[in-house]
Amino acid sequence: MAPFSTRKLPLLACTIFAALPASAEELKTITVEAPILSDSVPLVEPDSDSTTYSVGKKGIDLFAGPGSANPYSVISQLPSVSLDSVDSYGLANMPGGNKGLRIRGEMMPHGSIGTVDGIPLSGINPGPGYEWLFDMENLSGVSLSEGPVSPDKLSFFTNTGVLDSSLRWPEKERGIKVSQSFGSFGLRRTFARIDSGNSKNGTAFFLSASDTQAKKWRGPGNSPDGRSNFEAALEKPLTSDLDFRIYAAYNAMKEDNYRPLNYLEASNLGVYNNFDYAPTSSAAPASAVNYYGYNRQNFRDWTVLSEIEYRFGANSSVALKPFYMKEQGSYLDGLATGKVRQWDIDHDWYGLTAELRTKVAGSAVKLGYWLDSMNPPGPPTAFKMYNPTASGGLTFASWSILSKATSRHEFSSLYALADKEFGKLKVKAGARYLAEKLPGIDMFNPAGVKDVSYDQAIASSSGVVANRSASGPTFRQWLPYLSAGYDLTRAAHLKLSAGRNYGAPAFDVWPVYQMSAALQAKYTGQQIWDSLKPEIADAVDLGVRLDYPHGYVEPTLFYSRSRNKDVSFVDPAVNVAYPQNAGKTHAYGLQLMGGLKPAGNIDLFGSLTYDRAVFDQNFITLGGAPLAVQGLQLPDTPQWLMSLGGTYHRGQFSFSPVLRYTGKRYGDALQKEPVSGYCTVDMGLGYSSKLSFGSLEATLSVTNLFDRQYIGFINASYLQNSGQTSYYPGAPRMLAFELSLDM
């Protein structure tokens, strides 16, 4: 399939705008009845004057894909969302922090973004974490907030936007759902859920389980090599004003990693599209590390969260949401040094959110608090090195990092938000106070420590290396927010939002420092830790929502400016590059979201994005030479994105095509490694039938219908050096069939 020309995109935008009414007088004659579109398409949240989109249950079924395990895939068609998974099923977890999602050019370098029912379950986690913890059948909706983020969106970091997954709690009616999926490259997925329905006193619960496996589409191994998931929830009204519910989820997954390509390989997909790790080991260490058995991961995640709500008075309520999450596992990675690294991860986090909602002088008011305490890693606390053998075994070499947290990584936040209407004008104003305390970490001397467990290694070390250890500093920040909406006509609503967002400090400096003799000779661990700063971004969005009898369109202009961005560049005092919070960038652009229902059995949607995200200064390279990146687009940030799709129903059958275009990108900051844009088409065919005891549904999904070869995920930082970027080919055409029965 030929690439989609970017020259057609401005024409497309003009065509959409040309279809709008010519004047406000025409708009005044329109009577809009909402909702117009079904939840099978992404929608702009009508009651929000910030830039917020939502996808309902039917949309989740359409966009989650056959893997049905990753909320990222659900938002992939939204404006300004650049998502490139290394597999079509969304089941491949990338080792480390970058999970492949960018929003307006911003990425999360320390794990997944996301909250669940407003609870911050993810933010600083190099493991899979919450991202594969919930089956999509157990979600009722997914929303994404972009640009200025409201203070009540309690995410660890907000500069990348806030993704929130709404849980599907126990149903009021008794029911059973079972489904079985089969697909290309050995996909097999079984899912079952049982709902008790409400008892006489209102108590209800559900139980669900799923099992998923698939082969890698390139190279040997499986991804996943087994994913087992169990979920359960109970809800019970304690009194007429007090409700209680609790949710538990467990996920165990192991898989073989995909091998990245360098730029020369990525530029010749005719030869390297299926290139991957080797099926057998080698006698040469440099080649032996490319054995697929040395590039694996194995994780277990579980969480328990609860929600307690008490209502008092006509307009007042208090909600408490305590939670706990635990993750254990490891990554095994073959390194260019000829060593195989085992990165052990064993940590937990817990906390609660509390929110009071009431009315004061005609204004809706929210007052809230959030507390979160987590144990590293992030940053990494234990790296163990091995030497590979020709037979596929490993012999112990050394501990390269052996450290232990002396205090936990803690977040505490207070927020207030007030909502007031003045006729046609609606104003929402508030602020969030955030305190982030980094963990204290002791570095233990790894010399002479044997191949033992982590706890045994700490116990057998000769002691703490004081100048490589640190106590945790605390960052404090006010994050103001203001949004306003004005009804120009009955069908035209003007929206403005402005605010300050928060980003992550450069935690990844810790392992770089611990493995650099030059940095250790110049700085102490405390000096390095104290040099960190949180990223701060000021953002403004201006949009207008235009409603029609059969659809809507919402164009939005956006602008943001960031400082203290996490970039890795050379410190001239030591001539070593390491992560520092010293970058400055700005971004501006236009995004558009629209939906159309030209007939009762057709739902259409479209999104379009132009994004200019650039550096505001130059940096220094090795030897003191300038790195001239000022004014250049950030790596892995396309200027153009577009999605078009919809669903057509005819009787018991449905047809759902989705076209996705990603424009030209660069894999490095100097733009020496251009990556061509690409266009893919996915398609779904569905059949549903009512039975005497329930309903039967059959779905055939086809991803990358025209089998296009392209580079998907680019693993690049904000300031990426040429020759150091990792590239991953996009998955080929895949077919999956699902049969489900609801009773």
Average pLDDT over residues 618-639: 91
Residue 55's pLDDT is 94
Which tokens belong to 415? 């927020």
Residue 85's pLDDT is 80
Distance CA 649, CA 536 (A): 46
CATH superfamily, domain 8-742, is: TonB-dependent receptor, beta-barrel domain (2.40.170.20)
The full 3-state SS of 543-608, as one line of letters, equals: EEEEEECCEEEEEEEEEEEEEEEEEEEEECCCCEEEEEEEEEEEEEEEEEEEEEEEECCEEEEEEE
**pLDDT beyond 80 at 36:** no
The full 3-state SS of 21-90, as one line of letters, equals: CCCHHHHHCCCCCCCCCCCCCCEECCCCCCEEEEECHHHHHHHCCCCCCCHHHHCCCCCCEEECCCCCCC
The residue whose two tokens read 């424009």 is: 663
Residue 122's pLDDT is 85
Residue 6's pLDDT is 37
User: What distances in angstroms separate CA 704 from CA 7, 269, 654, one per listed residue?
Assistant: 23, 16, 19
Other CB atoms within 10 A of residue 691 CB: 10
For 73-117, the pLDDT digits (tens) are: 999 999 999 998 899 899 999 998 899 999 999 999 888 999 999
Residue 38's pLDDT is 79
**Alpha-carbon Rg of the chain, whole angstroms?**
26
Which among 90, 95, 395, 67 is positioned nearest to 259, based on CA atoms?
95
- DSSP summary character for residue 284: S
Report the DSSP beta bridge partners of residue 219: none
Residue 484's pLDDT is 97
Residue 533's pLDDT is 95
Specify the length of the chain in residues. 743
Which tokens belong to 617? 């200064």
For all residues of the chain together, what is the average pLDDT?
92
Residue 283's pLDDT is 80
For 154-209, the pLDDT digits (tens) are: 999 999 999 999 999 999 999 999 999 999 999 999 999 999 999 999 999 999 99
- DSSP summary character for residue 733: -
Distance CA 453, CA 446 (A): 13
User: What separation, in Å, do the N-terminal and C-terminal C-alpha atoms of the chain show?
Assistant: 42
For 415-434, the pLDDT digits (tens) are: 999 999 999 999 999 999 99
17-26, 341-350, 563-572, 704-713: least confident range: 17-26
Distance CA 294, CA 288 (A): 9
Residue 31's pLDDT is 45
Evaluate whether 144 touches 81 at the Cβ level (below 8 Å): yes
For 570-587, the pLDDT digits (tens) are: 988 898 999 999 999 999
Instruction: Tell me whether strands 115-116 and 492-502 are parallel, antiparallel or unpaired.
Output: unpaired
- DSSP summary character for residue 3: P
Q: What letters, b where the CB count within 10 A reaches 16 and e where it falls short, cover 326-345?
A: bbbbbbbbbeeeebbbbbbb
The residue with greater pLDDT, 306 or 573, is 306
Confidence of residue 622 (pLDDT cuts 50, 70, 90): confident
Q: What are the residue ranges of helices labelled H in 248-371?
A: 263-266, 269-272, 285-288
Evaluate whether 704 touches 145 at the Cβ level (below 8 Å): no
Average pLDDT over residues 623-639: 92
Evaluate whether 208 touches 233 at the Cβ level (below 8 Å): no
| 655 residue type, one letter | F
All structural domains of the chain with their residue ranges: 8-742
- DSSP summary character for residue 8: H
Longest pairwise C-alpha distance within the chain: 82
User: What distances in angstroms separate CA 636 from CA 126, 255, 311, 614, one per listed residue?
Assistant: 20, 26, 47, 12
Confidence of residue 13 (pLDDT cuts 50, 70, 90): very low
The full 3-state SS of 358-416, as one line of letters, equals: EEECCEEEEEEEEEEEECCCCCCCEEEEEEECCCCCEEEEEEEEEEEECCCEEEEEEEE
Distance CA 127, CA 332 (A): 12
Distance CA 415, CA 585 (A): 27
Phi, psi of 163 (to 5 degrees): -100, 130
**pLDDT beyond 80 at 10:** no
Confidence of residue 17 (pLDDT cuts 50, 70, 90): very low
- DSSP summary character for residue 108: -
Residues in contact with 562: Cβ distance below 8 Å, sequence separation at least 6, in sequence order: 106, 159, 503, 535, 536, 537, 583, 584, 585, 586, 587
233-242, 387-396, 446-455, 657-666: least confident range: 387-396
Which among 561, 572, 566, 674 is positioned nearest to 627, based on CA atoms?
572
Other CB atoms within 10 A of residue 149 CB: 29
**pLDDT beyond 50 at 258:** yes
Average pLDDT over residues 370-393: 92
Q: Tell me the residue ranges of DSSP E strands in 155-282.
A: 162-167, 175-183, 187-195, 204-213, 227-237, 242-256
Which tokens belong to 44? 């702009």
Confidence of residue 37 (pLDDT cuts 50, 70, 90): confident
120-124, 357-361, 553-557, 636-640: least confident range: 120-124
Average pLDDT over residues 262-271: 98
Residue 16's pLDDT is 34
Confidence of residue 45 (pLDDT cuts 50, 70, 90): confident
Other CB atoms within 10 A of residue 471 CB: 16
Evaluate whether 117 touches 169 at the Cβ level (below 8 Å): no
For 505-555, the pLDDT digits (tens) are: 998 999 999 999 999 999 999 999 999 999 999 999 999 999 999 999 999
Residue 464's pLDDT is 98
- Helix (H) or strand (E) run with residue 145 in it: strand 139-146
Which among 125, 156, 158 is positioned nearest to 536, based on CA atoms?
158
What would the DSSP string read from start to end of 424-480? TEEEEEEEEEEEEEPPPEEEBP-TT--S--HHHHHHHSS-B-GGG-BPPPEEEEEEE
Average pLDDT over residues 300-311: 98
Average pLDDT over residues 436-458: 96
Distance CA 154, CA 464 (A): 36
